[in-house]
């Protein structure tokens, strides 16, 4: 069931929160081969389902009262294992919860488990998890995308109606695209990062994956809002969902960046995007070609800035206070180095080394400082284009889901999976991905991006598309 239809069924009493919870747990077990969950919190979920039913019986109606969901395992949940997909945190049971978890609990949502992810959210295929790769529900020999691959796979397999996720360079939108579901990365600052295990703090943003834009908007409004515990969170008005649902496509100006549609985009993906834009045009939108010239340098700038911040953020994992500690350290230096060597996987170590290098005194100006200048140029490109258009549209990912193992030996090929998503994070903009067709039987995602704080415009444009198309209703063969 979609989130909306489940809420309706809970409201009219045709189902209970406990039944919805059992159903989610049951489906999680049936889809265990996806490897999408690191932790299943079955007992706590059943108790939360019962509590939601009791509250409903008393007449309460929380925004998500009784709705099962999963968290990407990057969010700290008090008394529940929170690993960030890493051996470093494979034993970490946090004494506190992320703000978004507190908000979801206050709204009555029922946590069924913690979703698998690339280690510390570094990756585009979910193959860099200490807990093993996640499989794509549409084809189990393929990746679900990353780093929020577990969240996207769970929603695609209809285990839960929504899941939380985080996006530093595409990790909500790219797996949503590869799994045929809807994922939204809000404006930087809309959602608190408190209790979200940090990767690259100037880029990280929490969001949600659901089966429709309307569902995603409902869940997003629950987790959004100012939080004094995150100094980068902003006191922005909530998303105007009613306004978004009423939005007309007539006259909407859609910019199609030439740089998002050029070489490197698979023909099957390009065709599905063209067909989706034709649907928009048929409903009165105006499609115009636009240029984002600096985006050609986005991958290079991102893979300097994100590792630089990661090298600093991950310095806290030293084997002393929490997380993995090596056995029998000889001395303090041995404790630090061996705990980190054993606790971090290969991709994470590579990023820490890269980040340390670009921040070093001799190379700071040549790499890190330069990347910051490119970042500014990228943001200015977007600002200029948004003088003329309301949203920007193009493929979320250059290809459909690729085979497990296909890009593991070629990190640059893996990084290029993010070619159309990273520039959005560098500029702090909101963007979403919606299913818009298939290529070789695998889902294709359309990315829409809007100016800062214009999530309602994004939701409106996505919802209008989902009113006249059925791509978001397609379910993978094994999901039923
Ligand atoms: N794939 C990108 C990376 O590896 C983005 C990941 C993310 O958004 N967390 O950094």
Q: What is the pLDDT of residues 27-54, one digit of tens each?
A: 999 999 999 999 999 999 999 999 999 9
pTM over 0.95: yes
Say yes or no to pLDDT of 263 above 90. no
d(C-alpha 471, C-alpha 473), whole Å: 5
Active site residues: 72, 147, 171
**What percentage of the chain has pLDDT greater than the value 90?**
96
Say yes or no to pLDDT of 17 above 90. yes
d(C-alpha 22, C-alpha 19), whole Å: 5
Ligand 1 touching residue 121 (CB < 6 A): yes
Closest CA to 39 of 51, 47, 28, 48: 28
Say yes or no to pLDDT of 88 above 60. yes
Classify 3-247+456-479 by CATH class: alpha beta
d(C-alpha 149, C-alpha 154), whole Å: 9
pLDDT-derived band at 413 (thresholds 50, 70, 90) equals confident
CA distances in angstroms from 52 to 20, 23, 24, 279, 360, listed in the order given: 11, 15, 15, 41, 53
CA of 372 to the centre of ligand 1 (A): 18
Closest CA to 122 of 151, 148, 158, 96: 148
Look at the block and give the residue holding tokens 């991102």.
Answer: 302
CA of 457 to the centre of ligand 1 (A): 25
pLDDT-derived band at 479 (thresholds 50, 70, 90) equals low
Mean pLDDT value across residues 365-384: 97
CA of 126 to the centre of ligand 1 (A): 10
Closest CA to 24 of 121, 113, 122, 124: 113
Q: Can you give the pLDDT at residue 248?
A: 95
The full DSSP string for 418-466 is GTTTHHHHHHT--EEEEEEEEETTEEEEEEEE-STT-HHHHHHHHHHHH
Ligand 1 touching residue 125 (CB < 6 A): no
Q: Which stretch of 81-85, 282-286, 296-300, 414-418 has the lowest confidence by average pLDDT?
A: 414-418
Q: Dump strand ranges (E) for 174-290.
A: 182-185, 205-210, 253-257, 286-290
**Whole-number average pLDDT of the chain:** 97
Say yes or no to pLDDT of 254 above 90. yes
Say yes or no to pLDDT of 222 above 60. yes
Q: How long is the chain?
A: 480
Mean pLDDT value across residues 87-94: 98
Look at the block and give the residue holding tokens 């409106």.
Answer: 460
Mean pLDDT value across residues 395-419: 92
CB-CB contact of 188 with 160 (8 Å): no
Say yes or no to pLDDT of 480 above 90. no
Longest dimension (CA), the chain: 70
Say yes or no to pLDDT of 209 above 60. yes
Q: Can you give the pLDDT at residue 188?
A: 98
Mean pLDDT value across residues 64-92: 98
Q: What share of the chain is helix, strand, coil (3-state, %, to 5)?
A: 45, 15, 40
Q: Can you give the pLDDT at residue 255?
A: 98
Tens of pLDDT, residue by residue over 444-462, are 999 999 999 999 999 999 9
d(C-alpha 424, C-alpha 406), whole Å: 26
CB-CB contact of 165 with 171 (8 Å): yes
Q: Can you give the pLDDT at residue 264?
A: 86
* Ligand 1 mutation pick, 147, 352, 431, max ligand atoms within 8 A of CB: 147
Q: Is 50 exposed, middle or buried (0-12, 13-18, 19+ CB in 10 A)?
A: middle
pLDDT-derived band at 415 (thresholds 50, 70, 90) equals confident
Say yes or no to pLDDT of 416 above 90. no
Say yes or no to pLDDT of 478 above 70. no
Mean pLDDT value across residues 67-71: 98
Tens of pLDDT, residue by residue over 126-181, are 999 999 999 999 999 999 999 999 999 999 999 999 999 999 999 999 999 999 99
d(C-alpha 397, C-alpha 269), whole Å: 8
CA of 174 to the centre of ligand 1 (A): 9
pLDDT-derived band at 363 (thresholds 50, 70, 90) equals very high
CB-CB contact of 37 with 73 (8 Å): no
Q: Helix, strand, or coil here: 30? A: helix
d(C-alpha 50, C-alpha 55), whole Å: 9
Which atom of ligand 1 is closest in space to residue 415's alpha carbon?
1
Ligand 1 touching residue 170 (CB < 6 A): yes
d(C-alpha 90, C-alpha 81), whole Å: 8
Mean pLDDT value across residues 345-363: 97
Which atom of ligand 1 is closest in space to residue 121's alpha carbon?
9
Q: Can you give the pLDDT at residue 245?
A: 97
Q: Can you give the pLDDT at residue 477?
A: 87
According to DSSP, residue 136 is labeled: B
């Amino acid at each position: 069931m979609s989130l909306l239809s489940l809420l309706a069924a809970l409201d009219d009493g045709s189902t209970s929160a406990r039944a919805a919870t059992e159903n989610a747990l049951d489906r999680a077990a049936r889809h265990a081969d996806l490897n999408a969950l690191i932790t299943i919190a079955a007992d706590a979920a059943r108790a939360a389902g019962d509590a939601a039913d009791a509250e409903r019986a008393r007449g309460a109606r929380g925004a998500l009262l009784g709705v099962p969901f999963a968290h990407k395992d990057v969010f700290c949940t008090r008394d529940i294992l929170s690993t960030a997909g890493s051996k470093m945190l494979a034993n970490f049971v946090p004494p506190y919860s992320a703000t978004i978890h507190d908000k979801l609990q206050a709204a009555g949502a029922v946590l069924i488990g913690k979703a698998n992810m690339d280690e510390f959210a570094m990756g585009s295929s979910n193959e860099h998890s200490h807990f093993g790769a996640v499989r794509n529900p549409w084809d189990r020999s393929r990746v679900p995308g990353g780093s929020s691959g577990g969240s996207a796979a769970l929603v695609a397999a209809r285990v839960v109606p929504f899941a939380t996720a985080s996006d530093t360079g595409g990790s909500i939108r790219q797996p949503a695209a590869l799994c045929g579901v809807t994922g939204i990365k809000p404006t930087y600052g809309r959602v608190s990062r408190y209790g979200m295990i940090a990767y690259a703090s100037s880029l990280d943003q929490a969001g949600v994956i659901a089966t429709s834009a309307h569902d995603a908007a409902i869940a997003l409004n629950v987790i959004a809002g100012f939080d004094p515990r995150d100094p980068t969170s902003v006191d922005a008005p909530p998303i105007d969902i009613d306004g978004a649902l009423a939005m007309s496509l007539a006259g909407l100006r859609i910019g199609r960046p030439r740089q998002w549609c050029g070489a490197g985009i698979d023909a099957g993906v390009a065709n599905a995007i063209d067909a989706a834009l034709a649907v928009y045009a048929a409903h009165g939108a105006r499609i115009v070609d636009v240029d984002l010239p600096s985006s050609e340098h986005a991958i290079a700038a991102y893979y300097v800035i994100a590792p630089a911040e990661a090298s600093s953020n991950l310095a806290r994992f030293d084997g002393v206070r929490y997380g993995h500690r090596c056995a029998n350290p000889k001395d303090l230096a041995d404790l630090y180095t061996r705990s980190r060597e054993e606790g971090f996987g290969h991709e994470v170590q590579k990023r820490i080394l890269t980040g340390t290098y670009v921040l070093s005194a001799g190379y700071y100006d040549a790499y890190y400082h330069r990347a910051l200048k490119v970042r500014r140029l990228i943001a200015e490109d977007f600002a200029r284009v948004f003088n003329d258009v309301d949203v920007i549209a193009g493929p979320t990912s250059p290809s459909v889901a690729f085979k497990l193992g296909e890009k593991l030996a070629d990190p640059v090929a893996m990084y290029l999976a993010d070619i159309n998503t990273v520039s959005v994070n560098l500029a702090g903009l909101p963007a979403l991905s919606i299913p818009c067709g298939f290529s070789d039987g695998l889902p294709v995602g359309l990315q829409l991006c809007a100016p800062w704080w214009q999530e309602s415009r994004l939701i409106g444009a996505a919802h209008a598309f989902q009113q006249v198309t059925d791509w978001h209703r397609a379910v993978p063969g094994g999901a039923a």
